[in-house]
Amino acid sequence: MDVPEELSAWVPGLFDDPTRPLYAQAATVGPGGAPDVRTVHVRYVKAWDALAFAAHTGSPKWAQLKADPRLKLAFFHPRLGLQLRFAGTADLAADPAGLAELWAATDPWLRKEYGAKGRTAPADFGAVRLAVSAWDAYRVDPAHPEKNERALYRRESGAWRAERRSALL
């Protein structure tokens, strides 16, 4: 997966741990252009070498991403003191290998929500594959704020460009 070198210690590893699911808030463009935010379970899908999350193909989230594929996600990992915000575009329901991998990693309680009765994903199970174009990484140490650091990474001309930032800007 193509990520800035400074983030490679965390990405995709944070998204690939089956014992500690990573839930993030995802914002899509809702009706009238307003943001629409919800929590999604972001995973690293090896078959795609990309981050992805599941979505019911009849959901408002799916319709919004179909109409406008731009989205932003954010999460905070308290043990690491790490906030990651990332932006990009969504590719809806790509190839079957990745969809099968995402389904296999889906929690049993969520499979029941889809009404699934086996190992095969139902027709309304969709995947949102992410093409990340920007990462905003903020390391927080409340006991030692002088150690806090933040950087914004943007994809430009095929390479990641870093911009050091203040935590407040």
The 3-state secondary structure of the chain, one letter per residue: CCCCHHHCCCCCHHHCCCCCCEEEEEEEECHHHCEEEEEEEEEEECCCCEEEEEEECCCHHHHHHHHCCEEEEEEEECCCCEEEEEEEEEEECCCHHHHHHHHHCCCHHHHHHCCCCCCCCCCCEEEEEEEEEEEEEEECCCCCHHHCEEEEEEEECCEEEEEEECCCC
pLDDT, residue 83, reads 94
Q: What is the mean pLDDT of residues 136-161?
A: 91
Joined tokens for residue 148: 């806090």
Give the pLDDT confidence of 93-110 residue by residue, as tens digits.
767 788 899 998 888 888
What CATH code would you report for 5-165?
2.30.110.10
Q: 57 near 50, Cβ under 8 Å?
A: no
Structure confidence at residue 150 (pLDDT) = 94
For the chain, the average pLDDT equals 90
pLDDT of residue 21 exceeding 80, the answer is no
